[in-house]
Amino acid sequence: TLVALGAEVRWSSCNIFSTQDQAAASIAAAGIPVFAWKGETEQEYEWCLEQTILKDGAPWDANMILDDGGDLTELLHKKYPQVSEVDPICAMQACMDGFELVSPFIDGINNGTEASVDKALLGKIDLIVTTTGNVNVCDANMLKALKKRAVVCNIGHFDNEIDTAFMRKNWAWEEVKPQVHK
């Protein structure tokens, strides 16, 4: 169903015991990369998880992880941690916590122009969550650079961290339920 809807799928098992070879073969026959087989060793299982993440030797640009056992998610968080911070104090704290930081702005500086936005980075982003309490943290220039179907959300009382006026004017805007739009 996911493939029929246009998704690119990669598949591995959630533990060394659960894979049924006939199921894996059927999925592979549909053209989906499969990294699993019955009777994997722990080392082979870890290799399979890594292959699920890597595509042509680089981390795959997935926008959703369906992980039954949690091992794939744990590997992603431990081996490929990337956090984007706009606030320098929060960025320093995240760095001290061991996360790799990236900025949505070239050289970390937002001068209010489209030229200051790191379009290459934002063009790969699947999710932006604002939590600062500041106005226009995610401005029109950032929103213009996002890839299609990126999710933009805010945690807090007000939506003024995100330039929703730009979104309403330039994007299709449908209310799913109060305070949830697509």
- Domain boundary assignment for the chain: 2-79, 89-174
Output the six-digit token pair for 118.
């790191």
Nearest Cα residue to 138 out of 126, 156, 153: 153
Question: Reduced to 3 states, what is the DSSP secondary structure of residue 133?
Answer: coil
Phi, psi of 11, deg, nearest 5: -135, 135
- Those residues of the chain that have pLDDT short of 50 are none
CATH class of 89-174: alpha beta
Query: Contact, 63 vs 126, CB < 8 A?
Result: yes
- pLDDT tens by residue, 119-150: 999 999 888 888 777 788 899 999 999 998 88
- 177: which residues sit within 8 A by CB, 6+ positions away? none
Q: What does the alpha-carbon distance between residue 66 and residue 110 come to, in Å, rounded to a whole number?
A: 35
Residue 132's pLDDT is 75
Residue 144's pLDDT is 96
Residue 173's pLDDT is 81
Adjacent-strand bridge partners of 154? 130
